[in-house]
Amino acid sequence: MKSFKRTICFASDKERSSAIETKTNNPSCGGSLSVDDHGDQTDDLDDDDGDGYRLSMKSQNLQWAQGKAGEDRTHLVVSEEEGWIFVGIYDGFSGPDAPDHLLTNLFNAVFEELKGLLWNTGKAESDEASGFDLKKWKSGCDSQSFELSTNPTTSEFEHSDFLKALSEALTKTEETYLKMADLKPELHAMGSCVLVMLMNGEDVYVMNLGDSRAIIAQKTGSSNLTPHQLTVDHNTDVKEEVERIGKEHPDDDEAVVNERVKGYLKVTRAFGAGFLKHPKWNDALCEIFRINYVGTSPYITSSPSLHHYKLSPGDKFLILSSDGLYQYFTNQQVVSRIEWFTASFPDGDPAQHLVEEVLIRAAEKAGLEFHELVEIPSGERRMYHDDVSVIIISLEGRIWRSSVNRL
């Protein structure tokens, strides 16, 4: 696992948007990570990652970045050698512990589950392995040019294996969190939405809990970009989710109150939040934080939605974000904004642009000027906007990441 510990940078959790940077097409353009240009790194210092591995900044083929914004956590890992991208967005609530646990543990759990599927020893021994080159796909070469995995073809059975591995990794990560919460009961009040995307060549695997979204921006002919949502929203705006909770709690007339589960939580599926999953974890909390738990069935679950999607030449961008973005934008507005911005400012950062637009719209909604909103102390900002984290992957080979917090 030596090649899986290289850190590019850790994004700050200051109020302004933050971004990862490595070699970019335009050094003055912050927030862009080039994954198709493999020029030498300028820093050749060795790094000890704490696990006994000495890592050369020039020799490693994996690029790794983590970021924090309020209770949002983002995790981006790019393997040039193996040809895959991992993205995790963890939108926490009631405290940072659950998203922090996901940030620390979920990728490692995914790595263990995918041994032999996504990464194996055969790739390192092959001189014919294709490089990490998204531009070849964009320019119209055949699918094998874009195939970044160790195996140029993936069967339907293997697709299900990938999805099962993601789900198993999530289950094991939550089990360790709940065990930790048994020792610190207040952790049972904390939880997180989960969005994980694994792109392996032209195959995209998505897992989600809650209402963070993954969207493909598609172009057909001469028409403008249109959105295709890969994730399923799990919140009380979804009729089927509310009906499911009602069926599991027929004796509880207050299972969903004011569009919130037990009057507390908008999302209907989440990581952690044990007090909404079993009465013993609810009883472990201080009385003031307990709900009136009726029966023993869970109110919310950690059963994720899983989806496999095969990229096509018409796919231009993959947009992953926490739900704070969609409080002010529809899916169509998001892809239209990206299309306009990237055409108008080719060297600009569309993720940062979207985050700034959220702040502008939040300010307008509150009757404030933009500068008045950003000058509000962090702890008071939560009444104006949610945390927002956005990662945009261009299939031309660039990645942008930007975040803003409300805490």
User: Reduced to 3 states, what is the DSSP secondary structure of residue 318?
Assistant: strand
- pLDDT of 365-403, one tens digit each? 767 776 666 666 766 666 655 678 899 998 876 777 666
Sequence-separated (6 or more) residues with CB below 8 Å from residue 344 = none
User: Reduced to 3 states, what is the DSSP secondary structure of residue 241?
Assistant: helix
Asked if residue 70 is part of any domain, the answer here is yes
In terms of average pLDDT, the best of 25-29, 80-84, 111-115, 251-255 is: 251-255
Per the structure, the count of domains in the chain is 1
Q: Residue 143 is part of a domain; what is its CATH number?
A: 3.60.40.10
Asked if residue 296 is part of any domain, the answer here is no
The answer, yes or no, to whether residue 93 has pLDDT greater than 50, is: yes
End-to-end CA distance of the chain: give it in Å, rounded: 35
Asked if residue 393 is part of any domain, the answer here is yes
Measure the CA–CA gap between 10 and 148, rounded to whole angstroms: 26
Asked if residue 167 is part of any domain, the answer here is yes
The answer, yes or no, to whether residue 287 has pLDDT greater than 60, is: yes
∠ CA 290-296-301, rounded to 5°: 80
The domain of 28 spans 2-234+304-404
The answer, yes or no, to whether residue 346 has pLDDT greater than 80, is: yes
Alpha carbon separation from 26 to 231, 363, 398 (Å, rounded): 33, 31, 12
- pLDDT of 198-243, one tens digit each? 998 899 999 999 999 999 999 988 789 999 999 999 999 999 999 9
Measure the CA–CA gap between 208 and 198, rounded to whole angstroms: 12
Split at pLDDT 50, 70, 90, the class of 12 is very low
Asked if residue 246 is part of any domain, the answer here is no
Asked if residue 369 is part of any domain, the answer here is yes
Asked if residue 219 is part of any domain, the answer here is yes
Measure the CA–CA gap between 17 and 56, rounded to whole angstroms: 29
What is the 3-state secondary structure of 124-192? HCCCCCCCCCHHHHHCCCCHHHHCCCCCCCCCHHHHHHHHHHHHHHHHHHHHHHHHHHHHCHHHHHCEE
Q: Find where tokens 């009385």 sit.
A: 287
Task: Report the candidate in 246, 211, 239 with the shortest Cα–Cα distance to residue 331.
Answer: 211
Split at pLDDT 50, 70, 90, the class of 140 is very low
Give me the chain's average pLDDT, please: 75
Measure the CA–CA gap between 97 and 94, rounded to whole angstroms: 9
The pLDDT of residue 393 is: 92
Half-sphere exposure of 405 (CA within 13 A, CB side): 22
Measure the CA–CA gap between 194 and 322, rounded to whole angstroms: 9
Q: Which of the pair, 171 or 63, is modelled with greater confidence?
A: 171
Q: Which of the pair, 78 or 194, is modelled with greater confidence?
A: 194
Asked if residue 243 is part of any domain, the answer here is no
